[in-house]
Amino acid sequence: MLKHRGFPGRLPGTDFQFIIRRANPKGATPLTARERYRDRRPADKRADAAFLGALWDHFGDQPFERGNLDAGRLSWLFGREVVPAEDPFDPESYDALLRIDEATARAAFPEVFEE
């Protein structure tokens, strides 16, 4: 499992985790697209925006390996702002390649891309 050095571990001042410390011996938690409902808590929305911002700052528009990125946090963006960068895609692999769909991400989280 690739560890993304320099990537923030969590949203400061909260328990919203962005990375995991070690690989699960039973295999990676599968990535699944989670539905984001309009009535989500503001803290959850901030965590999504901060995580997407960290992904953008760290990887930009380039494909990146899933590695030690938290599956739960990725799943809130998966299928919309974060999409598979390879075909076939294995959602249960730490080596799976992902990328940010910039147009969708800018529409959903314009505050992340403000200069």
pTM of the model: 0.91
List, for residues 52-61, the tens digit of each pLDDT value: 999 999 999 9
pLDDT-based confidence at residue 115 (cuts at 50, 70, 90): low
User: With 90 as the cut, is the pLDDT of residue 114 above it?
Assistant: no
Please give the pLDDT value at position 27. 82
Please give the pLDDT value at position 95. 92
* Per-domain residue ranges of the chain: 42-112
List, for residues 73-103, the tens digit of each pLDDT value: 999 999 999 999 999 999 999 999 999 999 9
Give the C-alpha distances (Å, rounded to integers) separating 83 from 21, 56, 65, 80: 23, 13, 12, 6
List, for residues 23-65, the tens digit of each pLDDT value: 888 888 999 999 988 888 998 999 999 999 999 999 999 999 9
Distance, CA of 63 to CA of 98 (rounded, Å): 5
**Encoded amino acid at 27, one letter:** G
Give the C-alpha distances (Å, rounded to integers) separating 26 from 23, 82, 93, 96, 101: 9, 24, 11, 16, 30
Element (H, E) at 42: helix 42-59
Complete DSSP assignment for 75-98: HHHBTTTEEESSSS--TT-TT-EE
Strand blocks (E) in 19-87: 64-65, 82-84
pLDDT-based confidence at residue 22 (cuts at 50, 70, 90): confident
User: With 90 as the cut, is the pLDDT of residue 12 above it?
Assistant: no
